[in-house]
Chains A and B, each alone.
Chain A
């Protein structure tokens, strides 16, 4: 009963946020001054051709609702023959428009770039969580000592550093030993798949490390505080009384049941990680979605911007929703 309510509430919330994002995304790019058709027409075209193009894109229709046409034809459904609902219909069909600069469907562009970004995020999060957890455990175990203070300091510093600068510094430091950017060494034919993946891995090291450093501060703080609470529990005392030493206590009592909660944590962090990914991909020329967004800003490629933003927003909303769902299962005392 309580849980059902919670879930329904979360579904409603996510849907509402989604709708607001859609409307916002749609409207934002209509506020642009000037005629959007200017982007794709040549100035040498006749005004009639321009008008035909505008009609083809449905730009002669009203923006939100087409009341007039509904009245004229007496058909209520015609009221939805407007720019906004055409937009929604296209979205439902997976049509995100066409890129201004590349003349390719946006959806295609995005799907090409999705893989590298996912790879980067997963690797970066993995390293960040492990590193953060270890440091957090150490800090909790040695609470109050210099080690604790040092760990906290390192964690806070890592969070305070601008991600792009961190990437630049790493780039300078690793010059010569690691590739300066890109996904794979261009123009090389690999002896085997394994070698190919090894090359990708070499390119992945720095971007993923940068992301990991960005993220680990938060994980360290959380693990430290969670561990402190756990360590204060009676059953830890029991474990120690039973004769388990520190290492064993940590291994048996402090590190169980990792997978589900871990996914929750990653999901909640996704928005922040995406922000970092945009910067990291720019610096390391990583061919992912972040890089796509950056490039399209410079080129004023609004359809791509719109499409990528929509994808990111939907992704994060979905991730948060999933995290909330798992949260329901994790925490029996869910607040209504």
Chain B
């Protein structure tokens, strides 16, 4: 799937054509857009309002799908379909807000590290590695257990612990851009460091940031869902994760209430998959040789290559 080499000066190729070539990315974009639309138009699309007070009888508890409730009812008699539709808002909100934090924090650190080099770079990268090493879900659990539940806390915690991938990716890109002609020329005529970072390097880094941010959004959405499922979500809101938590805790599995258990998770999977496909494709477009990815770790690459009996490791530099 490798195409032509990228020349050092930014070329004006039509981004749309190379994009369509990666059909998976288009599929991903479509999936994402559908969820965004659903979230924005929730009031008109959802048959009921999940936050209003209703009257329910015992026969309403986890009732199977009917003509009035297309996806049945949950443990309090509310309409599952409406809750799922409104739940999109929370997931998307957390996803975008957390990724905003991630971009700000990660891109700044990455740029500083990449551009400064030397001591600053080493220190920043050590900090990044340290944050990366500590297992994230247990840490998030512990922090929220102490700091208290709430949407702001969740967004903060996710944002503060997930910026490492962005920092790495941005740093790598900065390192490759730093040595290019136009940067050296700018330095020669005396542009300040900050000026170079903002005017010359940043535009080259933005596509990478964008691609990585897409993946970070999906990671944030998954994290919020997991935290909510484990009981640490915002108690006042009905997010997909908290729906699944209630369903599971209140015995939906024993009742066989698949209409309560499957749709929220399906919606989650839909959004996450869409974002992942999109993000993957964006990464390949933006810099196919930049092999940083959530699922990727160069050390693992080396380990697997040895499993393959690769004799000469010095030949290929990843």
Contacts and interface: CB of A to CB of B under 8 A. Distances in A.
A282 B230 contact: yes
Given A168-B244, A271-B134, A293-B138, A256 B258 contact: no
B305 A230 contact: yes
A16 B130 contact: yes
B200 interface: no
Interface residues of B, number: 67
Given A162-B269, A165-B269, A297-B230, A172 B301 contact: no
Interface string A154-168: 001101111111101
B230 A278 contact: yes
A329 to B, nearest CB: 10
A226 B304 contact: yes
A309 B305 contact: no
Among the interface residues A160, A161, A278, A330, which one has the most CB atoms of the partner chain B within 10 A? A160
Contacts of B133: 17, 271, 316-317, 320
Interface in B12-33: 24
A156 to B, nearest CB: 5
Interface in A265-303: 265, 268-272, 274-275, 278-279, 282-283, 293-294, 297-298, 300, 302
B283 to A, nearest CB: 12
B62 interface: no
B253 A180 contact: yes
A327 B302 contact: yes
Interface SS of B by simple majority: helix
Contacts of A106: none
Contacts of B310: 226, 229-230, 233
Contact of B301 (A225, A235, A275, A278): A225
Contacts of B141: 278, 293, 297, 305, 309
Interface SS of A by simple majority: helix
Given A271-B134, A297-B141, A323-B299, A333 B253 contact: no
Contacts of A171: 253
Among the interface residues B304, B306, B316, which one has the most CB atoms of the partner chain A within 10 A? B304
A31 B142 CA distance: 12
A227 B275 CA distance: 27
A172 B258 contact: yes
A274 B142 CA distance: 14
Interface string B292-318: 011111011111111111111110100
A268 B300 contact: yes
B31 to A, nearest CB: 10
A268 B297 contact: yes
A262 B307 contact: yes
Contact of A226 (B226, B230, B308): B308
A13 interface: yes
Among the interface residues B134, B275, B293, which one has the most CB atoms of the partner chain A within 10 A? B134
B139 interface: yes
Contacts of B295: 159, 217-218, 221-222
Contacts of B135: 270-272, 274-275, 312-313, 316
A154 B225 CA distance: 21
Among the interface residues B145, B147, B273, B294, which one has the most CB atoms of the partner chain A within 10 A? B145
Given A162-B226, A278-B138, A172 B256 contact: yes
B230 to A, nearest CB: 6
B229 interface: yes
B280 interface: yes
Nearest to A278: B137
A153 interface: yes
A229 B305 contact: yes
Interface in B141-159: 141-143, 145-147
Contacts of B24: 149, 152-153
B218 interface: yes
Given A159-B295, A222-B301, A226-B308, A283 B248 contact: yes
Contacts of A153: 24
Nearest to B269: A161
A261 B297 contact: no
Nearest to B306: A261
B276 interface: yes
A331 interface: yes
Contacts of A326: 303
A76 interface: no
B248 A264 contact: no
Interface in A1-32: 13, 16-17, 20-21, 28-29, 31-32
A144 interface: yes
B261 A162 contact: no
B136 A160 contact: no
B46 to A, nearest CB: 21
A212 interface: no
B226 A264 contact: no
B103 to A, nearest CB: 20
Given A13-B126, A278-B230, A261 B307 contact: yes
A169 B265 contact: yes
Contacts of A312: 135, 138
A28 B230 CA distance: 20
Contacts of A275: 135-138, 226
Given A162-B222, A162-B269, A264 B300 contact: yes
A307 B58 CA distance: 42
11 contacts: A156-B273, A172-B261, A175-B256, A222-B304, A257-B309, A261-B307, A271-B134, A279-B229, A297-B232, A308-B138, A309-B142
Given A265-B303, A275-B138, A316-B135, 17 more contacts: A20-B130, A153-B24, A157-B269, A160-B218, A162-B268, A165-B268, A172-B253, A235-B311, A275-B135, A297-B141, A302-B146, A305-B142, A305-B145, A308-B138, A313-B134, A317-B133, A331-B313
Closest 5 CB pairs of A and B: A165-B265, A275-B137, A261-B303, A256-B309, A271-B135
